[in-house]
Amino acid sequence: MLSLRPPRLSSLRARWASFAGSFVAVALGVGVMTAMGLGLAASLDAPSRPPERLASSPVVVMGRDTLTVEVRRGPGTAQVSKPLAHPHPVDSQLLDRLSELGPVRQDGDRRDAAGVDAPAAAVRKVVREVAGGRARVLTGDARRLADPTTERDAEALVAVNSLLGTAAGVSAFVSVFVTASTFAFVVALRRREFGLLRMAGATPGQVRRLLLGEAVAVGVLASAVGCALGSWSAPRLARALVDSGVAPPWFAVDGSSLSQWPYQVAFWTGVLVALSGAWAASRRAGRIGPVEALREASVDTGVMPWSRRIVGAGLLAGGLGLLGWMLWSDPSALLKRKTYTTQPMLLVTAVAALAPVLVRPVVRLLRLPGATGMLIRENAGASMRRTAAVAAPVLLTVALAGSLLGAAGTVSGAKAEEIRERTRADLVVTGEELKTGGAVRTAGATRTAGVVRTAGAVRAARAAGATVAGSAPTAVFVREEETALIRSEARAVTDVAAFAAVSRLPVVDGDIRDLDDRSIVVNEEWERHEVGSVVSVWLGDGRPARLRVAAVLARGTGDNGAYVTMANARGAVVDRLEVRVPPGVGQGDRAHQSHQAHEAHRAEVAAALRSSGGTVQSAEEWVSSVRPRTGAQTRLGLFVVLGIALVYAGISLAGTLLMATSARGTELRSLRLAGATRGQVLRVVAGESVVGVCVGVLLGGAVTAVNLAGLCVALGRLSAPVGVAVPWDVVGACVGVCVVVGVGASGAGAWRGVR
């Protein structure tokens, strides 16, 4: 029996070209995971921030700003809190009693908190006596809860966690994907070597251990380099997150301590990635028989063992089955970013696993002119392993670019179309001035001049024959199945009849005109959504109420919230006026004149509304201004994911083609001896790489089509507008980069082989 020792560094140096792609892939993957892990550690262990607002007061009294409800948790119960839409102010009676204890401070017109220079025990006693549960007392670091930046910082840290976690997960997935593809191709290139080892007496187990030993060596070295790379890049990543507005200004990462858990996780993950990527390839290497050493033909045969066919078919069935199950059970889940970020990966893995058997049928679809084109196509079809190895990273990049950005654009487009369809208004008035105009002074309940301006403008518009409906943002809370407290965004309307005239809500049951102070409009997502049924809710200021369902809206993309009257939204401030100008009536010339009269009428109403102090826009301008767009955090996260995929695609392409062309020296020299010029040989090699990229584009396009088709079906099931947004520019850029890298790498390898 042949004795095979573990691989030495000299052995790895001799085969550096074969392991370069895997080494760089693992090193970059570990670097990304280290940087992301350090960022996650910094966000999870954020330093305590000193109070800023009312910091000079030892005690801060805040009005009630959360709703706390008891829900069922397993055999017991638990209390769940949600922020109120309209926090309670610190009222005048409580302020008068607190002023008897010591000086009281408030900042400007904000009435939600007050600083008190008095002992905390005395303040708590007064608050219990006067306000009960309508206020709370904060001392020490808890005073920071009164700072407006506290909630924003918490939301920003959640966004940071989501971004870094997604990027780390995608990096691990792509690392395994690229490493497995590279090791599989390495085994294909080393068939004769392994055949000679078997002929010399090596057992299948020894061959497998040899390959796994090489993978461990590559994984350990690459992981160490990756940890150093991550330590260097983590502080720069934190600064980039701050500069882009994703993280709060104080966010920072210290990568100097090697004892931090992200280094341990990233290092051992890198080693496991290398091992898992080489595992399947090592099993295939162990099955190579001694006769492989005698083969000279480069035609691939038996490239797909039944085990891989079964795994690939199972993954494909699982991916399609999961998509179908979600469409049947919860189509709204497909519209969520976490779902459409991870959903394509299962299908990508399935198609990549089946790629060797898909290569030849796809290549046959390509028609290339001339003898050179025929040679390119036949070589690509015959060398299925090489073509599949080239197509795999392109498949990954195209599928992620098309699926992620396409899904985000499709969902944003559906939301924008929903906004456009929900209004019949000709004009919309918005703006901070309008919000200020809706405010009411606490002292004496005296209306501001803004209220007078707004009311006067509305009266003038109505006197001109327009229908004006105001609405304000609010929220309602409902306890579903006694186990969860759900907050639903809502709008409070000032005039139900006017609102029904200017709106076009997607009502599936009931009538919006039946809304009154004792009822509510809900959507199909609510647990109880039968017209006439009574639901127990908490209003935006925390008051409990029992309201009758007056109408039910389609679920849509999730933006079809609830509707109540202003009586059920105490503290809400009107921030939008929707105005409809009666259309003219006529035919022929009379219709033209009627249209001109309508435009003049609309201009007259717009002029009257401008005295409100708000911003007057046409309905089209307003829809464009509020059109949902992919947020900065989501957009940055998607481009980080695509950037990682594109970098890995370049690494895999370059490594695969350099290995492939360096192993084809005899074949390329034979072409020269047959009369082909160096240029013709280079064109053949470059053409084969382009064919491999095209195969990857077609397979990635198929995965994208399946994912976006599923998303469109989900939108249709939710009664939402259906449309597809394909990011052709980004997909085209990714394909262009892959073509350039593929042609460059194959040309460089072939140039050395035909000199």
pLDDT band at 14 (very low <50, low <70, confident <90, very high): low
CB atoms within 10 A of CB 464: 17
Counting Cβ atoms within 10 Å, is residue 447 exposed (0-12), middle (13-18) or buried (19+)? middle
Q: Which pLDDT belongs to residue 430?
A: 84
Tell me the percentage of the chain whose pLDDT exceeds 90: 11
pLDDT higher for 300 or 215? Answer: 215
Rounded Cα distance, 558 and 335, in Å: 9
In the predicted structure, residue 228 carries a pLDDT above the cut 80: yes
With vertex at residue 126, the alpha carbon angle to CA 122 and CA 130, rounded to the nearest 5 degrees, is 175
User: Which amino acid belongs to residue 204?
Assistant: P
pLDDT per position as a tens digit, 365-405:
777 777 777 777 777 777 777 787 788 888 888 988 898 88
pLDDT band at 354 (very low <50, low <70, confident <90, very high): confident
Q: What is the mean pLDDT of residues 42-69?
A: 81
Specify the DSSP class assigned to residue 582: P
Q: What is the mean pLDDT of residues 249-274?
A: 79
CB atoms within 10 A of CB 670: 11
- Considering only CA atoms, which of 391, 584, 387, 559 is closest in space to residue 488? 559
Strands 484-493 and 467-480: antiparallel
Q: What is the mean pLDDT of residues 212-237?
A: 86
In the predicted structure, residue 660 carries a pLDDT above the cut 60: yes
**pTM for this model (two decimals):** 0.76
pLDDT band at 439 (very low <50, low <70, confident <90, very high): very low
With vertex at residue 565, the alpha carbon angle to CA 560 and CA 567, rounded to the nearest 5 degrees, is 145
Rounded Cα distance, 621 and 336, in Å: 27
Q: What is the mean pLDDT of residues 237-265?
A: 78
Q: Phi and psi at residue 526, in whole multiples of 5°?
A: -70, 150
**Number of residues assigned to the chain:** 755
pLDDT per position as a tens digit, 499-517:
999 999 999 999 999 999 9
Counting Cβ atoms within 10 Å, is residue 520 exposed (0-12), middle (13-18) or buried (19+)? buried
Rounded Cα distance, 636 and 6, in Å: 44
pLDDT band at 287 (very low <50, low <70, confident <90, very high): low
CB atoms within 10 A of CB 621: 13
User: Which amino acid belongs to residue 461?
Assistant: A
- Lowest-confidence range among 11-20, 340-349, 601-610? 11-20
Contact 466, 581 (CB under 8 A): yes
With vertex at residue 544, the alpha carbon angle to CA 541 and CA 546, rounded to the nearest 5 degrees, is 130
In the predicted structure, residue 7 carries a pLDDT above the cut 60: no
CB atoms within 10 A of CB 482: 9
In the predicted structure, residue 593 carries a pLDDT above the cut 80: no
pLDDT band at 297 (very low <50, low <70, confident <90, very high): very low
Q: How would DSSP label each residue in 612-636?
A: GSSEEEEHHHHHHHH-----HHHHH
pLDDT per position as a tens digit, 625-657:
877 665 566 677 777 778 877 887 787 788 777
Helix (H, G, I), strand (E, B) or coil at 68: strand
Strand stretches in 37-88, DSSP E: 59-63, 66-73, 76-83
pLDDT higher for 109 or 356? Answer: 356
Measured between alpha carbons, how far is residue 94 from residues 439, 489, 755 in Å? 21, 30, 91
In the predicted structure, residue 233 carries a pLDDT above the cut 90: no
In the predicted structure, residue 36 carries a pLDDT above the cut 90: no
Q: Which pLDDT belongs to residue 50?
A: 76
| Cα dihedral: 681, 684, 686, 691 (round 10) | -170
pLDDT per position as a tens digit, 726-748:
889 889 998 999 889 888 888 77
- Lowest-confidence range among 68-72, 297-301, 531-535? 297-301
Helical packing angle, 148-189 and 632-662, nearest 10°: 10
Q: Which pLDDT belongs to residue 294?
A: 53
Helix (H) / strand (E) containing 258 = none
pLDDT band at 664 (very low <50, low <70, confident <90, very high): low
Mean pLDDT for the chain overall: 79
pLDDT band at 450 (very low <50, low <70, confident <90, very high): very low
User: Which amino acid belongs to residue 458?
Assistant: V
In the predicted structure, residue 298 carries a pLDDT above the cut 60: no
Counting Cβ atoms within 10 Å, is residue 10 exposed (0-12), middle (13-18) or buried (19+)? exposed
pLDDT band at 613 (very low <50, low <70, confident <90, very high): low
pLDDT per position as a tens digit, 680-708:
777 888 888 888 888 889 999 999 999 99
pLDDT per position as a tens digit, 152-172:
777 778 778 877 877 777 777
